[in-house]
Amino acid sequence: MTYRIPQKINTRVILVINLNTIEFTLLIGLGSMFAGLVGSLTGLGGGVVIVPLLTLAFGVDIRYAIGASLVSVIATSSGAASAYVREGFTNLRIGMFLEIATTIGALTGALLAPHISAPAIAIVFGLALLHSAYTSHQTKEMEPNELKPDLPATFLKMNSTYPTPQGPRAYYVQNVPGGFSVMFIAGALSGLLGIGSGALKVIAMDRIMKIPFKVSTTTSNFMIGVTAAASAGIYLNRGYIDPVLAMPVMLGVLAGSMLGAKILVKSKTRFLRSVFEGIILVLAIEMIYNGVYGKF
């Protein structure tokens, strides 16, 4: 039996034309598991891999890929966030405060999405990823004694500790207004591109607010579900979330994110940065190329 994708999704199918339902589901599920693993380790959210995977490999229309991605991002957050909170990495105060900006931004981006062409969305996606890769590569991990308590962060009680092999390590949050501003942009990209805005969230916390990388990635994972949920409702209302596509994506990402949560605790920051930079650099180039040449 040949699997037939609904016509609204079947815009440029490359791999799935001759696949039966089980084969199609397994392929999507395995790819999504890898996306969830990467998203969990780097704080990007599975959407940063899911959208290019569905559009470039399976030929899915980018808006339906974004819809499935938003569902997967919620699953990633649900799967990994609880483990990170339990381990003591996630800073809940920072996450809850910055979600105000990202949620407003996500609603703004989702409302703008229908008025922007698919190639333009792909190019914006790629440029956002390139910026994230560059700024991550430039980031230097700060020692706790190099930073002093910041007044807004102290007032909001954001300063905290995170576990290391040598015991709890203190850190002091910096430049809260700057991080809040970037979070609005991150939320807008989430609603527009379905990426969970994890890339810019990690950059804002790690680069601007000087939060340790592991705390940034885990707090980002905690936040992305709320941000994605704010825009997923709008995509669902417009018919851009298809259960045939969203279900295997969600299950695969959830399994990958749970696996990533176990790996991150024992991973070194340098390794995580390398994964972060390499993945998004490759995806950025592919998305910009396909956007410029109108292959969406």
Q: Where are the domains of the chain?
A: 21-292
3-state secondary structure of 277: helix
pLDDT interval class at 11 (50, 70, 90): very low
pLDDT value of position 195: 59
Contact 21, 3 (CB under 8 A): yes
**Residue 188 contacts by C-beta under 8 Å, 6 or more apart in sequence?**
105, 106, 108, 109, 112
Residue 147: pLDDT above 50? yes
Residue 84: pLDDT above 50? yes
**Residue 41 contacts by C-beta under 8 Å, 6 or more apart in sequence?**
217, 260, 263, 264, 267, 272, 275
Contact 103, 230 (CB under 8 A): yes
Residue 293: pLDDT above 90? no
The dihedrals phi and psi of 211, each to the nearest 5 degrees, come to: -90, 140
The dihedrals phi and psi of 104, each to the nearest 5 degrees, come to: -60, -45
pLDDT value of position 4: 43
Region 5-21: mean pLDDT is 47
Region 152-157: mean pLDDT is 89
**Which region, left, alpha or beta, applies to residue 139 given φ > 0 means left and ψ of -120 to 50 means alpha?**
beta
Contact 62, 195 (CB under 8 A): no
pLDDT value of position 126: 79
Query: Distance between CA 53 and CA 59 in Å, rounded?
Result: 9
pLDDT tens, residue by residue, 137-146: 665 555 544 6
**Residue 222 contacts by C-beta under 8 Å, 6 or more apart in sequence?**
77, 81, 84, 85, 90, 92, 95
